[in-house]
Amino acid sequence: MVTITKATTRDVRFPTSLDKTGSDAMNAAGDYSAAYCILNTDSEFSGHGMTFTIGRGNEIVCQAISLLAARVEGKKLEDLVSNWGETWRYLVSDSQLRWIGPEKGVIHLALGAVVNAIWDLWAKTLNKPVWRIVAEMSPEEFVSCIDFRYITDAITKEEAIEMLKKEEPGKAERIKHAEANRAVPAYTTSAGWLGYGKDKMKGLLQETLNAGYKHFKLKVGTSVAEDKERLSIAREVIGYDRGNFLMVDANQVWSVPEAIEYMKQLSEFKPWFIEEPTSPDDVFGHKAIREALKPYNIGVATGEMCQNRVIFKQLLQQGAIDVCQIDACRMGGVNEVLAVLLMAKKFGVPIVPHSGGVGLPEYTQHLSTIDYVVVSGKLSVLEYVDHLHEHFFNPSVIKDGYYTTPLEPGYSVEMKPESMDKFEYPGKEGVSWWKSQEARPILEGERI
């Protein structure tokens, strides 16, 4: 029996703002960062989880992780996972911590790190990857992982169990597909950052096309003229009639009327969807944009900033989105994601997770595999960015345009200690990059 003895946090930041990796219309200069949680135990195993941020504010999330993780110190792992739904409810039920959410914002980001660290620990003790643990659950066990409070008007436990049972006959075959690395096709955002020059963008698009990708996403939102030029280059590389798909992402930069008019002017490039066209909390705004763009065959996607299952419930109930983009750690970890997978299945909306950040492809490869194998039974696609994977013991890998299904025990986000030491903020003199002269342009530069 494994007991959690102590929780620790690490503030790890990678200086991606220097080369504009991750740049978009709203976030011009982010430093991909991990607010990191480690659950130490009285055994050989430890659990690792993280929440993704883009730099400043990471220290606040780390403080919140410390407060939430204290609730599992001294707890037996077996007791925590024997009724996951109750454990999840327990973790969100400290009334004084809940007050600064509830179930949203910094406290919820921290919850995602803690919950995912428990899943990582559990998977290691079982010697299985997280996706396989869920794949081997009965429908009743799957549903017991979820706190259904606030969503029973969209889906009940009984409905969920029935839906999962209907997908059971094909599950064994889909597990074989996963084992053969054919469960999760990838799409790339790596060529489309707004801060990249046009030559760099064109070269990266050609490179990823040659690597077997068929789906490509570009950032938009600075100006119509500039976006038309960039999308023209993209279509020149990937074509219109070669079976390739183009998606665009505005990262919340527009009001609702602006989004509609702007995207009408980009409709000639035939994007599959516009991602985050407006505020992530504006359910009816997304619905209005979706209805206005239907005649142009442009879908609407959102999710990376959706704070919990309640917002997703409303987006799905109102018919506001064509694509559901769950995030592995903005919500409350695996358990809350499972709830959204079920709701998306009920409303017939495909799951295409947000995965553009450090550690996110490592996480979301498990979630997309779970969706395919257990919930939807249908292939979708998953975002991939080719950055910072070398810092993880079990990095995500793309081959022939597909994610290589993780087989190692855990949740794949355990970071190498030397990477954490080198990029810890503010870090130690002589050890951390953030104490070096190279860091001064970021530390002393204009904050944007």
DSSP states along 393-418:
SS---EETTEEPPP-SSB-S-PBPHH
Angle of CA points 279, 308, 194, to nearest 5°: 40
Judge whether 329 and 112 are in contact, CB under 8 Å. yes
- DSSP for 64-76, written as a single string: HHHHHHTTTTT-B
Q: Answer left, alpha or beta for residue 172, where phi above 0 means left and psi between -120 and 50 means alpha.
A: alpha
d(CA 49, CA 120): 7
* Cis ω before 406 (30° cut-off from 0): no
367-394 in b/e form (b: 16+ CB < 10 A) is bbbbbbbbbbbebbbbbbbbbbbebbeb
Tokens of 366: 């498990």
Measured distance CA(323)–CA(350) in Å, rounded: 5
Question: Concatenated DSSP letters for 222-250?
Answer: S-HHHHHHHHHHHHHHH-SSSS-EEEEE-
- End-to-end CA, the chain: 48
**Residue at token pair 């050609």:** 206
CA 363 to CA 119: how far, in whole Å?
11
* Nearest CA among 365, 294, 295, 286 for reference residue 320: 286
Q: Between the CA of residue 442 and those of 29, 52, 439, what are the distances in Å?
A: 9, 19, 6
Q: Which residues are catalytic?
A: 219, 354
3-state SS class at 48 = strand
Structure tokens at 192: 């489309």
Give the integer Cα–Cα distance in Å for 157 and 162: 9
Which H, E and C letters describe 280-326, residue by residue?
CCCHHHHHHHHHHHHHHCCEEEECCCCCCHHHHHHHHHCCCCCEECC
| DSSP, res 416 | P
Give the amino acid at 16.
T
Neighbours of 318 (CB within 10 A): 14
Give the distance, in angstroms, between the CA of residue 423 and the centroid of all CA atoms in the same chain: 22
